[in-house]
Amino acid sequence: MTIMLHAISAVRPPRQGFWSIWDGCVKLIIMTGIAVADAKAHFSELLDRVTRGERFLVLRHGRPVAALVPTAAVAQPEHAPAGLAAAAGALADWDDLDAVVEGIYAARRDAQDRPGPSLD
């Protein structure tokens, strides 16, 4: 398995006034680069290592295509709305909704009730 280290770090600004706090905020993230074929061959092992906090950058022809990182490092998606809230969100993107609703109201105003059944 071929492994390359990729270091990503923030550049530290000069230590003056407020920026002196920055010294404690600089993080060094080391990701291990791994080829797609090696990632496929050792995927289960990589997942075990990721659960222990390691990070991997999957490379195709030397270019990054994916990252394997612990779930804590990824923002969790918000829960999708359910019920009427989901319908309201879908209707928000409908540009001519007002015209359609007005057409429905007009059709209801012009509608005539059908006669009731004859009980003879």
- What pTM does this model have? 0.45
* pLDDT value at residue 35: 93
Mean pLDDT of the chain: 75
Let me know if residue 104 belongs to a domain: no
- Domain assignment of residue 19, yes or no: yes
For position 67, which CATH number holds? 3.40.1620.10
> Which residues of the chain form beta strands (DSSP E)?
3-9, 28-35, 56-60, 63-68
**Mean pLDDT value of segment 36-60:** 92
| Residue 65 structural domain | 3-73
At 72, give phi and psi (nearest 5°). Answer: -65, -25
> Is residue 82 assigned to a domain?
no
pLDDT at 24 over 50: no
Number of domains the chain contains? 1
Q: For residue 28, give the amino acid letter.
A: L
Q: Angle at CA 74, nearest 5°, toward 29 and 83?
A: 170
Contact (CB, 8 A) for 91 and 97? yes
pLDDT in tens, 79-113: 766 777 677 766 777 788 888 889 999 988 888 88
